[in-house]
């Protein structure tokens, strides 16, 4: 189970390490927790094997004020487990269901369940209006069409999406024209060049296109010399699977459990051919960049660094990653603008993946107190620790 709260008390309650009496008190609403944490605890504890705790949690949940639940349904800070509960917990107020439908952190499966069970026609209409969700999770389409409470408009949207994306080969040019009309030229260009087929259908292309924010006119490919094109060779299925597994495992180590939607997106992106992953690296949004920066192909990872929309905060985070190519770290250090950012260069010298020559060139710009910290850092090489010590001693006159 993924726990969103960072509250140690909440985490101990939900991972089962808190005493039974503390868990019962939490289920009864007796602990002084913020509303978001309380709801996350109650939603989890209602499924507790101990019937006393489960019954108390459900009773406390049912006693929550509608206004509090509506605020939770609207907030993007609410735990996905709470949003899913609000979506699927019977016939709550329509306003809450509508807010959950509009919240992008509600899972597709929960929306499909709501589309199947809701007797509220406006709620079903609202679900049908999100074509991106329908394409990403076709079970929602089937749920709408099977629900007798659907309106003619909801049925029309669901049938059109089903016909256009799943029942016939829709021309990529037609989709591209629609995207360009909406002002998303980068996604339109992707559709025009996408190779659709059994392994990569229009639904897959639509999902990937939603993560493109840079047009061809904005990118500069001068960083890719001709001799590196050999690195864009076709990969074997085993290589693709190994790349996928490595990235999923590294994200799980850094962020904990991942949602099924996140894993699905990673798989769809990483099973594109290497040339298309390179293009997405240069043109993709922050979420696509966060996946492709870890790609085992150095050209793909380097493409991310050359994306014109990448932010200093992203680069700062990348400089600390131990799952990125050493070439990426070298490029970051060589960039004049990024090299002026102290948090970036500080992360680089602490990263054992950063090439030793790059670290040694960067150390003179590191503050003395941080040099002293490096001398005690067992994650970096002995050579880095020795040079940090020499510089610190030289500055102190020893």
Token duo for residue 312 = 């200093």
Tally the C-alpha atoms within 13 A of residue 310's C-alpha that lie toward its C-beta: 26
What residues contact 109, with CB distance under 8 A and at least 6 apart? 84, 137, 139, 260
The per-residue pLDDT for 205 is 77
Q: What is the tens place of the pLDDT at every residue in 43-95?
A: 999 999 999 999 999 999 999 999 999 999 999 889 999 999 999 987 678 99
What percent of the chain has a predicted confidence (pLDDT) above 70?
A: 94
Question: Where does the pLDDT of residue 315 fall: very low under 50, low under 70, confident under 90, or very high at 90 and above?
Answer: very high
Q: What is the tens place of the pLDDT at every residue in 265-314?
A: 898 898 888 888 998 999 999 999 999 999 999 999 999 999 999 999 99
The residue-averaged pLDDT of 145-157 equals 93
List C-alpha distances in Å: 395 to 198, 371, 372, 392: 64, 11, 11, 5
What residues contact 286, with CB distance under 8 A and at least 6 apart? 309, 311, 314
CA–CA distance, 124 with 149 (Å, rounded to integer): 8
Q: 108-117 and 80-88 are packed helices; what angle lies between their axes, rounded to 10 degrees?
A: 10
Q: What is the pTM of this model?
A: 0.61
How many CB atoms neighbour CB 371 within 10 A?
A: 22
Token duo for residue 303 = 């493409």
- Give me the long-range contacts of 82-86 (CB less than 8 A, separation at least 24): 82/36, 82/39, 82/40, 82/43, 83/107, 83/110, 84/109, 84/110, 85/43, 85/61
197: β partners: 200
């Amino acid at each position: 189970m993924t726990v969103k709260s960072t509250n140690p008390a909440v985490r101990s309650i939900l991972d089962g390490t808190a005493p039974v009496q503390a868990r019962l008190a939490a289920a009864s609403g007796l602990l002084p927790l913020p509303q978001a944490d309380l709801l996350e605890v109650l939603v989890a504890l209602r499924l507790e094997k101990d019937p006393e705790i489960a019954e108390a949690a459900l009773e406390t949940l049912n006693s929550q004020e509608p206004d509090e639940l509506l605020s939770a349904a609207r907030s993007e800070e609410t735990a996905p487990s709470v949003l899913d509960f609000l979506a699927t917990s019977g016939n709550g107020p329509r306003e809450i269901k509508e807010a959950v439908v509009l919240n992008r952190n509600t899972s597709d499966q929960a929306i499909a369940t709501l589309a199947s069970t809701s007797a509220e026609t406006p709620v079903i209409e609202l679900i049908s209006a999100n074509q991106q969700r329908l394409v990403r999770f076709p079970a929602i389409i089937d749920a709408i069409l099977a629900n007798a409470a659907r309106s003619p408009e909801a049925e029309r949207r669901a049938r059109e999406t089903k016909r256009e994306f799943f029942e016939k080969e829709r021309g990529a040019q037609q989709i591209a024209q629609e995207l360009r009309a909406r002002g998303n030229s980068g996604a339109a260009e992707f559709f025009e060049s996408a190779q659709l087929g059994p392994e990569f259908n229009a639904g897959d292309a639509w999902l990937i296109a939603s993560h493109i924010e840079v047009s061809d006119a904005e990118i500069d490919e001068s960083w890719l010399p001709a001799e590196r094109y050999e690195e864009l060779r076709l990969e074997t299925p085993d290589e693709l699977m190994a790349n996928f597994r490595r990235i999923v495992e590294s994200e799980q180590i850094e962020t904990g459990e991942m949602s099924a939607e996140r894993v699905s997106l990673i798989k769809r992106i990483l099973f594109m051919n290497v040339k298309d992953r390179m293009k997405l690296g240069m043109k993709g949004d922050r979420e696509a960049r966060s996946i492709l920066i870890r790609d085992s192909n150095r050209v793909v990872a380097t493409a991310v660094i050359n994306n014109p929309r990448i932010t200093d905060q992203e680069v700062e985070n990348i400089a600390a990653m131990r799952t990125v190519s050493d070439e990426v770290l070298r490029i970051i250090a060589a960039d004049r603008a990024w090299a002026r950012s102290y948090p970036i260069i500080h992360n680089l010298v602490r990263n054992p993946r950063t090439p030793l020559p790059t670290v040694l060139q960067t150390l003179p710009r590191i503050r003395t107190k941080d040099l002293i910290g490096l001398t005690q850092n067992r994650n970096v090489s002995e050579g880095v620790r020795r040079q940090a010590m020499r510089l610190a001693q030289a500055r102190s006159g020893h």
